[in-house]
Amino acid sequence: MGRFSGKVALVTGAARGIGSGIALRMAREGASVLVNDFANMDLAEQTAAKITALGAAPGGEGQSGFAYKCDVSDHDAMERMFDETLRLFGRLDVAVANAAYSRRGTILEMNWEDVKRSVEVIQYGTYNVLQFAAQRMVKQGQGGKILVISSLQGENAYALSTPYNMAKAGIIHLVQTTSIELAQFHINVNVINPGWIDTPGERNHFSEQEIRDGAADMPWGRLGTPEDIAAAAAYLCSDEADYVTGATLRVDGGLKFKR
């Protein structure tokens, strides 16, 4: 019996990278999972198929993993996605806000549409997850776990990422605020700040040689992996973390204090 046996999770931005790692880790420990994505639905379907193959309790259509296309910044569409989760599985125990958007450049040259999109996906998207998950968990009356994936860039000021840094810093404060509001319902709200993680998205910003060089210069001697974040997420979303709320867990291999 795994820590998530009989439980239902929803993970946004879960087609690949950190989101997929979290979804698969929870499925391996017994969860049924709704796999949300928007731009990579072929990969989302693959992740969902892997989850079903792991054999957790199936939903209404005989599957334990479902891929669902939804833009997390679309408030109405997100409400429909949460309703669909309840239709398929009958309940919601865990929600993970992971979807993100990032473009690099200085504030002198940053395209305004990219600035808006970063805020829409990261801040509005996270708000939508928190609101819709909390509403359903309160109605169920059995508590729940909400986890937000922010970033070390929400703490440290890294150049060339102004909209991403701004949005990630904002959702850390959002977690702290909502944790106070939802404590009376025994809904835990926490945040993970990953450091430099080896994901497909990093290839949008760095060459393979730059990634190898960066890994060698890390305090831990390597980049983090989606599995590193998934292990931390599994703890925070489990009953073991019942008295942990409003917390920020940094998973960065010591990068925060690298000199």
SS3 (DSSP) at 64 = coil
**Dihedral Cα 176, 250, 242, 135, nearest 10 deg:** 40
164 catalytic? Reply is: yes
The total of other beta-carbon atoms located within 10 Å of residue 136's CB is 19
How many residues appear in the chain? 259
Q: Which of 161, 164, 179, 238 is catalytic?
A: 164
Per the CB < 8 A criterion, the answer to whether 56 and 30 are in contact is: yes
Give the integer Cα–Cα distance in Å for 150 and 250. 10
Q: Which of 151, 161, 179, 238 is catalytic?
A: 151
Give the bridge partners for 188, in sequence order.
145
The total of other beta-carbon atoms located within 10 Å of residue 107's CB is 10
101 catalytic? Reply is: no
**Dihedral Cα 225, 226, 228, 234, nearest 10 deg:** 180
5 catalytic? Reply is: no
Tokens of 143: 């508590």
71 contacts: CB under 8 Å, gap ≥ 6: 38, 77
Q: Which of 73, 168, 179, 238 is catalytic?
A: 168
54 contacts: CB under 8 Å, gap ≥ 6: 24, 27, 28, 64, 65
Distances (CA, A) of 148 to 151, 165, 171, 259: 10, 15, 8, 28
Q: Which residues are catalytic?
A: 151, 164, 168
